[in-house]
Structure 1
Amino acid sequence: MAGLVIITSNRMDVLVGHLAELLRRPAGPPLSPETIVVQSRGMERWVAMELARLNGISANLRFPFPNAFLESTFRALRPDLPERSGFEPDLLAFRIMARVQERIGQPEFAPLRRFLDRDHRAAKFY
């Protein structure tokens, strides 16, 4: 199926029924996988099993999580993006820590300063 299809419902059986119907229609090269964005591996298994039950088969499907899907989409559009996002937790922690250290003397940071002053171990800052 070409393009992006968004179907809304608060019932999983309705959603997977629409998906099964879409996948029954040939819409692209037969060896190109279909992408179905899911929130968990459990949801991936359930969707795959339901599609197999409804269509008689469930094959050549990709089930990325939302972040992985968006990252691969952005990389396809912008190959020049850096390998690691500046918003990854370990990188973001250092960026935030640097900003806090620059401003720790300001009045609005007094509660944080008192908290950090109680114990001088650097690990507490993380």
Structure 2
Amino acid sequence: MDKAMPAEAARALAQKIEERQGASLRLTNDSTRQAAHALRLYADLIDQPKAEDMSFKIETWEGGALMEVIARCALLPVALAAFEAAKEHRQSYRLTLRAGCRLIREHGPGVS
């Protein structure tokens, strides 16, 4: 399996491309800017936390069965806002907001 380029390596390559613009690098100015920008966006993307590393998750349930995890968040305020939004869009389902096995909020049919 191929390993992704580390974020810092992508940023360093973007810097090197910009520094060599017009020297031995044979790209137009526009192509140089686009390549450097794409590498920086890639670096920012791979620096994002992985879904499984995010502490909070919002789940939909039907009966006693988990149907889907609809959101994962790293920060509690973001998770609470996402839970409130989910309540508006998933009114017929039971929703839970959890941190691991700890239940933080619950909403929907059968919830008192």
Answer yes or no: same fold by TM over 0.5.
no
- The structure number with the bigger radius of gyration is 1
Q: Normalising to structure 1: TM-score of the pair?
A: 0.25
Task: Tell me which protein shows more helix as a share of its residues.
Answer: 1
Task: Tell me which protein shows more strand as a share of its residues.
Answer: 2
Q: Normalising to structure 2: TM-score of the pair?
A: 0.28
